[in-house]
Amino acid sequence: MQRGFFSRRRFLTASGAAAGAALLGPRPTGSVAEASLPLGVSEDFIQLNSNENPYGLTSSALAALTRSGRVGARYPDGLEDEVRNAIARLHRVSSEQIVLGCGSSDILRMADAAALGEGREVVAAEPTFEAVLLYANVMQAGAVKVPQTADFRHDLPKMAAACNDKTGLVYICNPNNPTGTIVRREELSQFLAAVPQSTTVLVDEAYHHFVEDAGYATAHDFLDRHPNLIVARTFSKIFAMAGLRLGYAVASPELAQRLSRQAGWNNTNAAALTVALQSLKDAELVPAQRRRISETRRWLCDALDREGRRYIPSHTNFLMIHVGSDVGPIIRSFRERRILVGRKFPSMSDWLRVSIGTRGDMEAFLTALREVVPAHAAA
């Protein structure tokens, strides 16, 4: 990470976005023993708080990580070109349309820097992933938060109506964090047509790979028609590279160039780039990881259904569960049981976000949930 830049979680914590619950760190149960742990957390904690992949890198990716040591003493310029070209082939665009970042949060920061400034505004759903709003605040730009619909989805007509001549950026997280809901193809098409071309549209697809709904469409499908569109992706989630930090944007050549001007010098690293190259070659990685995580999520939902608990149907590797009271003490109760769960979202203060871990992780979580929040108390 470039000196002077905040990490995704440190930025949120420093800005007060994680009131009550710390944004605790990046080691899910079952990943490599060398991974770092949050202060006060030991190896036997179950980590279901940061939407990471509980299965870690594949064997071929681990081998690539080992090989990266041979090039780690050199700046990664050549590797950056290789990864940029590989991503361009994947999305069938030119390499000049690809911008790399130190995780997708770096891409979000670049988008803010390219589109905003003092007196400008960003429009976003409430709740959603907070980074874009927090970066905007640093830039002295305003934030317009549009409440979600009754079924916990982006209210795109109201978001489009909120855009005016002060709007520099509008942000869509699809699927949305923390609700796990999606914007469907037709909705996105109508929204993009309604937003002024002078407004940059940033679609964050960090959880794209987990979606199985036929009505969903990646924003990549609309790039040719909307030169004001940026699509952000990450290797942190399904590729299990959260600790290695690599994300990217796809945009028109002109918009990609504007983003690149905001990038830190050498904002990637040889280890992440080498592992990403190997992961992109593994045709079975995405479907296999999606299948494992989706099966466990369905198992958890079935168990919640049997107990009459409310939750938001999710298209991601996390789930929002209704707990019937302020989630802050509940988060602490789980921690006392050596289970880390998601942070508090102020506009959904009686909902608990839990990442999907291994089947064993989720069995332990469900046992603790019954102790901490009896089903009748969550109604």
Residue range 254-289, pLDDT digits in tens: 999 999 999 998 899 999 999 999 999 999 999 999
Rounded mean pLDDT of 43-50?
93
- Strands 229-234 and 247-251, sheet pairing: antiparallel
Other Cβ atoms within 10 Å of 235 Cβ, number: 24
**Sorting pLDDT into bands at 50, 70 and 90, what band is 21?**
very low
Tokens representing residue 54 in the block: 């509980």
Mean per-residue pLDDT over the chain, rounded = 90
Residue 107 pLDDT exceeds 70:
yes
φ and ψ of 145, to 5 deg: -100, 125
Would the pLDDT of 13 be above 70? no
Q: How far apart are CA 113 and CA 217, in angstroms?
A: 27
Residue 2 has pLDDT above 50, yes or no: no
- For residue 184, pLDDT beyond 90: yes
Q: Which of residues 85 and 32 earns the better pLDDT score? A: 85
Q: Count of CB atoms within 10 A of residue 74's CB?
A: 10
pLDDT at 94: 98
For residue 226, pLDDT over 60 is answered with yes
Instruction: Report the pLDDT value the prediction gives residue 32, as an integer from 0 to 100.
Output: 32
**pLDDT higher than threshold 50 for residue 26:** no
Phi, psi of 251 (to 5 degrees): -155, 175
pLDDT of 7: 41
More confident of the two residues 15 and 126: 126
pTM of this prediction? 0.89
Q: Does domain 60-281 have CATH number 3.40.50.1820?
A: no
Mean pLDDT within 39-51: 86
At residue 36, the pLDDT reads 54
- Check the CA dihedral 48-269-92-63 and report its sign: negative
Domain ranges of the chain: 8-58+284-378, 60-281
At 47 the pLDDT is: 96
Asked if the model's pLDDT at residue 113 lies above 90, the reply is yes
**Local confidence band at 376 (pLDDT 50, 70, 90 cut-offs):** confident
At residue 29 the predicted structure's pLDDT band, cuts being 50, 70 and 90, is very low
- pLDDT bucket at 19, cuts 50 / 70 / 90: very low
Q: Is CATH 3.90.1150.10 correct for 8-58+284-378?
A: yes
Mean pLDDT of 204-209: 98
Of residues 235, 230, 231, 233, the one with CA closest to residue 277? 235
Is residue 310 very low, low, confident or very high in pLDDT (cuts 50, 70, 90)?
very high
339 touches 364 (CB < 8 A): yes
Binned at pLDDT 50, 70 and 90, residue 39 comes out as: low
Cα–Cα distance for residue pair 330/352, rounded to 1 Å: 8
Question: What pLDDT, on the 0 to 100 scale, is given for residue 70?
Answer: 82
In this prediction, residue 68 has a pLDDT band, given cuts at 50, 70 and 90, of confident
- Max CA separation in the chain (angstroms): 59
pLDDT, tens digit, for every residue of 312-364? 999 999 999 999 999 999 999 999 999 999 999 999 999 999 999 999 999 99
Average pLDDT over residues 74-95: 96
The pLDDT of residue 284: 96
**Residue that is written with structure tokens 């050199």 in the block:** 74
Look up residue 32 and give its two tokens: 């490599």
